[in-house]
Chains A and B, each alone.
Chain A
Amino acid sequence: MTRDWWKHMVLILGAIIVLAPFYMMVSYSFKSPGEIDRGEGGFFGRQEMMVDERCVKLRDPNRDEIAAAAPHFPGKTDNEIRLALLAEAEADCSMRPIVFNYSKAFTEAPLLRYLLNGILVTGSIFLIQVVVALPAAYALAKLKFWGRDTVFALVLFCLLIPVHAIALPLYIMLAKLGLTNTYAALVVPWTISVFGIFLMRQFFMSVPDDLIDAARMDGLGEFAIVWRVMLPTAIPALLAFAIFSIVAHWNDYFWPRIVVTGNRDLFTPPLGLREFKGDGDGSFFGPMMATATVIVTPLIVAFLIAQRRFIEGITLSGMK
């Protein structure tokens, strides 16, 4: 243990640098604008009641409202009533900074919609990838047919092409088809995962032929074999692939940035955060960091719960 102290020193220093932005992100999401400006309040901030200026301004009483409220304040002048109403509004508009930041995150922009979009897009990408890749992987691994080697060589060649790199021609093709600013545009380029085909093919190679022969004896067609025999055996590999695919597409910013312009209904979480940053003024650091925290949290929590699987899934690309 004494021999290891320097190792801990180095690793802890590294850990501080790695964790610093996470710490700051979560901490800012708890603090009031003043505390952020002055850099005080520790991790949680003091959580003193703060007044949301915008909310008060919106409730600035006009002449009619003062007249309507007059019966409640007998014997007072209009000005006194106005001040009383303002005080009331201020009381209603004051809240703890943490509540302010997180409620603003969800009300200033339709964050919930963005999150649902994110789930919808990542989910459909993964499902389509599996539906396309699994049969092809099975055919390449277990069926003998003329041209199989050529197809596999093509798969290996396509592994060389990163989809982000060909974003421009893909964008042009989608624009020609009138598909930009649609869910389809967010999903289509990712429907084919050459890597998925390669990976599942390697996995299927290790499935014993007897299992498939037995299924054929039972009268199952090849199509049924893929989904009823091969799919269940492939669950561990599929899970790893799912993590790989979901992490990549939940966090992807480049592609959505290209094909979704303006139409907020289609924004994925990173785009929503970007928009927030674009039109935010100085006082909105808190809500923005709350948004960032909300976006980052699901994957981090899932990772902390199922670390081993996640590390396997992400490093999958390293398996041979």
Chain B
Amino acid sequence: MVTLDTSSRPVRRAASPTKRQARTAWGLTAPALTLMLLILLVPVAVAGLLSFTNYSLGNSGFDWVGIQNYERLFTRSTYAKMFIATFTYVVTVVPISVGLGLGAALVVNSMGRIGDIYKTIYFLPVMATLLAMAIAWEFMLHPSIGAVNRTLEMGCGTWLETLPFFAKGCADGFPLWLGDRDYAIWVICFIGIWQGFGFNMVLYLAGLTSVHRELYHAAEMDGAKTGWERFRLVTWPALGPTTVFVVTISCIRAFQVFDTIEAFWPQGGGPNKSAYVMMFAIFEKGIQQNLIGIGSAITMLFLVFVMFLTLIQRWLVERKVHYG
């Protein structure tokens, strides 16, 4: 690096370099701006327009159908199932994966270096290709040769059989899991939690490093004797920003669940459409059945949900921190 001669600096600060700098700046941002427009903003507009039409790929023209597509979304039972499946998934996966993530972070954090082993293990599902792991889970849940039902069968003949679940399972066979409409969505939720909580744990661990030790001492002085009180008075408030972020990102990821459902039920979204989530609906209606109008309408609703969530998060965060 050349040493800086400060005395000569003001010379450059003339009017023309400023203009030149502006031109270079636009030159440097132009590719990004163009792509942002073409890949992110135009598609949103396209989806918005197409959601009011009956367009199909391959047709030369289309008709404007007004709000017919949206009307269908809110009146047909298929889409009622879609909303139920999506919200069941989000409302189950988000609190549990955030709670488990927080719990794991607190415990791991309290045990020093040994905790790192657990951290590594819990983070593995985040790295692994979800589709491959979904197939592994499918084998585990296989009704006859899967490890899950084999393990459960070991409980037959022991005291466990007094539990209603085991009594029924040992008598008539354990659930089909993926083939059973009462269990299908919960299995999907379980895999979502299995995959996601390690990610939340790591975010919380990062958040915990910023909690000052002195705060705990201060709380103890003020009479916070139990671990629960220290958590309630110090840790939880200090983790506020992390929680806002973790909840938002978990929600957005949960809304986008697709891989597991497509892997288990390539057609139809589960037994009796019990796991027919929005992403799968967009894929099935828009891409496979070429019903682009209705697919676009689902896309728009999806975007509204996601944007709404992110805006709430930004609003919560920006009361404390500012970008820049």
* Complex CA–CA separation, A22 to B18 (angstroms): 58
> Which one of B76-84, B105-113, B162-170, B171-179 contacts A?
B105-113
Residues of A within 8 A of B129 (CB): 250-251, 253, 269-270, 273, 292, 295-296, 299
| Interface membership of B65, Cβ < 8 A | no
> Using Cβ atoms and an 8 Å threshold, which residues of chain B touch A226?
28
Of A52-60, A69-77, A86-94, A190-198, the stretch lying at the interface with chain B is A190-198
A164 touches B279 (CB 8 A): yes
A236 in the interface, Cβ–Cβ < 8 Å? Answer: no
| B11 nearest CB neighbor, chain A only | A217
Stretch from B90-98, B195-203, B217-225 at the A interface = B195-203
Question: For residues 162 through 207 of chain A, which have their beta carbon under 8 Å from a beta carbon of chain B?
Answer: 162-173, 175, 188-189, 191-192, 194, 197, 202, 205
B25 contacts the other chain (Cβ, under 8 Å)? yes
Tell me whether A21 and B133 are in contact (CB under 8 A). Answer: yes
Q: Digit string of B250-265 for contact with A (CB within 8 Å is 1, else 0)?
A: 0010001011001100
Which of these, A19, A143, A288, contacts B24 with CB under 8 Å? A143
Task: Write the chain A residue with the least CB distance to B195.
Answer: A18
* 8 Å CB interface, B229-255 against A: 241-242, 245-246, 249, 252
Give the dominant DSSP class at B's interface: helix
Contact of B28 among A24, A143, A147 (CB under 8 A): A143
**Binary B-proximity of A281-294 (CB < 8 A = 1, otherwise 0):** 00001001100100
Best-buried of B2, B118, B296 by chain A (most CB within 10 Å): B118
- When C-beta atoms are compared, the residue in chain A nearest to B309 turns out to be A160
A237 interface residue, CB < 8 Å from B?
Answer: no
Residue of B nearest to A156 (CB): B323
B152 within 8 Å of A by Cβ?
no
Inter-subunit contact A258/B287 (CB<8 Å) = yes
Q: Is A84 engaged at the interface, CB distance under 8 Å to the other chain?
A: no
Chain B proximity of A20: nearest CB distance (Å): 7
Pair A310/B127 contact, Cβ less than 8 Å: yes
> Which of B40, B310, B317 touches A194 (beta carbons < 8 Å)?
B40
Pairwise interchain contact A277-B130, C-beta atoms closer than 8 A: no
* B132-A173 in contact (CB<8A): no
Contact A10 B107 (CB under 8 A): yes
Q: Which residues of A contact B4 (CB under 8 A)?
A: 210, 213-214, 217
Interface contact B135-A292, CB-CB below 8 Å: yes
**Chain A contacts with B in 115-152, Cβ cutoff 8 A:** 131-133, 135-136, 138-140, 143-148, 151
Interface residue from A11, A133, A270, A314 paired with B131 (Cβ < 8 Å)? A270
Are B36 and A192 in contact, with the CB atoms below 8 A? yes
Residue from B1, B31, B295 in contact with A168 in the complex, judged by beta carbons closer than 8 Å: B295
Which of B43-51, B66-74, B181-189, B268-276 lies on the face that meets chain A? B43-51
A172 touches B29 (CB 8 A): no
A144 to B15, CA, bound (A): 13
Bound together, the chains give a CA A159 to CA B33 distance in angstroms of: 13
- Tell me which residues across on chain B come within 8 A of A171, comparing CB atoms: 286-287
| B296 nearest in chain A by CB position | A168
Closest CB in chain B relative to A77 CB, distance in Å:
44
A145 pairs with B32, CB closer than 8 A: no
Give bound CA distance, A311 to B116, whole Å.
12
B104 at the interface (CB under 8 A from A): yes
Given A20-B147, A158-B40, A169-B46, decide whether A7 and B131 contact each other with a Cβ distance below 8 A: no
- Is there a chain A Cβ closer than 8 Å to B128's Cβ? yes
* Contacting residue for B132 out of A151, A292, A307, CB 8 A: A292
7 contacts between A and B (CB under 8 A): A18-B121, A20-B147, A169-B44, A171-B287, A254-B259, A273-B129, A274-B131
- A residues sitting closer than 8 Å to B (CB atoms) are 4, 7, 10-11, 14-15, 17-22, 24-25, 28, 36-37, 39, 131-133, 135-136, 138-140, 143-148, 151, 154-156, 158-173, 175, 188-189, 191-192, 194, 197, 202, 205, 210-211, 213-214, 216-218, 221-223, 226, 247, 250-251, 253-254, 257-258, 269-270, 273-274, 277-278, 285, 288-289, 292, 295-296, 299-300, 303-304, 307, 310-311, 314-315, 317-318, 320
Residues of B within 8 A of A (CB): 1-5, 8-9, 12, 18, 21-22, 24-29, 31-33, 35-36, 39-44, 46-47, 50, 57, 104, 107-108, 110-111, 118-133, 135-137, 139-140, 145, 147, 150, 194, 198-199, 202-203, 206, 241-242, 245-246, 249, 252, 256, 258-259, 262-263, 266, 279, 282-283, 286-287, 292, 295-296, 299, 302-303, 306-307, 310-311, 317, 321, 323-324
